[in-house]
Amino acid sequence: MSEFETLVGLVSQYSPSGQERGAVEWLVTRMKLLGYDDAYIDGAGNAVGVMGKGPQQVVLLGHIDTVPGEIEVALIPPSPDPSGRPLLQGEGSLYGRGSVDAKGPLACFVDAVAKVGAKAGWQCVVIGAVEEERDSEGARFIVDKYRPDYAIIGEPNQWDRVGLGYKGSAWASVTIKREQTHTASGEETAAEAAVEVWLRIKAYVDAFNADKQKIFDQLLLTLRGMESDSNDFEQWTRLKVGVRLPVDVSPEDWYKKLGEIAGNADVERIGFAVPAWGCEKNTKLVRAFLSGIRSNGGEPRFVYKTGTADLNIVAPVWKCPAVVYGPGDSNLDHTPNEYINLNDYQKAVNVLSVVLSHLSA
């Protein structure tokens, strides 16, 4: 099963966010063995492989970190065909943390670039970025270091689908404070005021979404935490509020509206907010993927996702044709039953090989 050596080897390197070094070193060695012109670890700890020396550039950005939770790596053959048909090489599944999200797509990038090889006038850069599952430190490090002609971001969307959009996200804590009063006073408590604030936020979101038919165009609101405490003089309640953003609502727009709704409450931003991004459909890159999928017997489809990805970090800066691509069923992301179908993986490698050949023709 040498055609799956990159996939199996990479998945076998357990690498939750913050513990990617072993997997990075393994991948750099693997890319050197596959004949990359250069392979190294950059200043953020990303694995980087370079094929070709031309002035035109394709960046294939995947991520090498996973969520925590080690899963025993195992190759499982399919059940015998009732008709007695012999099993074909490549049938079966690979279980293991990251097989879907997103070492499957990253390994696909590595294998496809090696399969196509160097093309005159072109350079392919494969990046296995760190920390995508936390704050995208790897992608933030490289965003100002490349200006590619095309960008392909590695996330699992099935081998015959092309991702054209990912929602943005913004997190905030909303803290409501009240002076301490006697419980018999009838005065509104901080907790009661917090509930009212939450209901106002939800009412605004419901009204915003009322005429939006597509989930990708809606605000997706979530209350992820609520805590209260008090001292001798003051009581407070804090809400942790998250939202998935559509393309036409920027993080700044959302924080401004949240502040208006919250009134006298303290609104504090949490972590990095990222804008949503929708990719242009009528590009040479998209047409190359449509051709690649059809040539491998698939019927191409487009997908817009409710999550975020490193696409949201790099696409607004690079402003080049971009898509999200990779084998694997995203319904298995982060689950204890994460696995990738080997036949689908091989088809994705073939599709991407066609894409790279078309772009460099």
Please identify every residue annotated as catalytic. Answer: 65, 132
Show the 3-state SS of 126-191: EEEECCCCCCCHHHHHHCCCCCCCEEEEECCCCCCEEEEEECEEEEEEEEEEEECCCCCCCCCCHH
State the DSSP H helix or E strand holding residue 26, giving kind and residue range, or none if neither. Answer: helix 21-33
Burial of 88 (0-12, 13-18, 19+ CB in 10 A): exposed
Long-range contacts of 280-285 (CB under 8 A, 24+ apart): 280/321, 281/164, 283/321, 284/150, 284/321, 284/358, 284/359, 285/150, 285/152, 285/321, 285/322, 285/323, 285/355, 285/359
Of 42, 24, 31, the closest CA to residue 117 belongs to 31
DSSP symbols for 214-247: SGGGS-EEEEEEEEEEE-SSEEEEEEEEEEEEPT
Q: Is residue 76 helix, strand or coil?
A: strand
3-state secondary structure of 328: coil
